[in-house]
A and B are shown apart, each in its own frame.
Chain A
């Protein structure tokens, strides 16, 4: 059973702080990792993708991947109240599947003004 685990939260941070979201996955055969943001009642929105070990930065967002530890994280710098949402970690497993995403349950982030 391929699994993606996230703390459900809520994670509460003050405005301007760094929010750190974590995700672990069970299968070493995975190679593609994604972070989606989902506002209440809306559909998931892709915010970051990462394919190799290390860091990838895009604006205020940094994704970090450590395949040896089967761990992927998302850092949000200078958090804003508009960042308050559920963040979904998703993994693509190869070897049989053709790219369907396996999602965690999401971490709810609350940024307090």
Chain B
């Protein structure tokens, strides 16, 4: 049973560059979530997909952020024109929406450092 995977695990970029992260959910899960976590805080919701449809976006998700989930499988999160404030751990989680249960399982995360 493979869990949620994320790539890359670490990314260092210079301010103003674009970065893209990938998430592969647990294979039978139809929901996929992106969160961001900074030091000393709990994860904060960014956006979520049910199959290939992006159904909700947080106000945290500025227009520099875009997420896709083509064909309802893996997902990508792109950040354009990165800023130092984007430095954080980006977490992906997946769940199987069933009978009102929302147990989410997280991947290892992508740690982004913007210099």
Task: Give the contacts of A79-113 with B (CB-CB under 8 A).
Answer: 88, 90, 92, 97-106
Interface of B is mostly: strand
Indicate whether A101 sits within 8 Å of B31 (C-beta atoms), given known contacts A42-B108, A46-B104.
Answer: no
Most central of B42, B45, B56, B93 by chain A CB within 10 Å: B42
* Cα–Cα, bound, A87→B67 (Å): 28
* Cα–Cα, bound, A19→B62 (Å): 40
A100 touches B108 (CB 8 A): no
A31 touches B100 (CB 8 A): yes
Interface residues on chain B, size class: 20 to 34
A104 touches B42 (CB 8 A): yes
Q: Cβ of B2 < 8 Å from any Cβ of A? A: no
B43 touches A103 (CB 8 A): yes
Measured CB to CB, the residues of B under 8 A from A are 31, 33, 35, 40-45, 48, 50, 55-56, 58, 89, 91, 93, 95, 97, 100-109
A101 touches B101 (CB 8 A): no
* Cα–Cα, bound, A44→B93 (Å): 10
By a CB distance below 8 angstroms, the chain B residues around A43 are 89, 91, 106-109
A32 touches B42 (CB 8 A): no
B44 touches A103 (CB 8 A): yes
A98 touches B42 (CB 8 A): no
Q: Cβ of A49 < 8 Å from any Cβ of B? A: yes
Q: Ordered nearest first, which 10 A-B pairs have the shortest CB separation?
A: A103-B42, A99-B102, A100-B45, A43-B106, A43-B109, A92-B102, A44-B106, A105-B42, A32-B102, A43-B108
Q: Cβ of A57 < 8 Å from any Cβ of B? A: no
Task: Give the contacting residue for B43; candidates A42, A44, A98, A99; CB below 8 A.
Answer: A44
**Closest-CB distance, A26 to chain B (whole angstroms):** 14
Task: Give the contacting residue for B103; candidates A34, A102, A104, A105; CB below 8 A.
Answer: A34
**A to B CB contacts below 8 Å, 8 in the list:** A31-B100, A42-B108, A42-B109, A44-B91, A44-B106, A46-B106, A51-B100, A106-B42
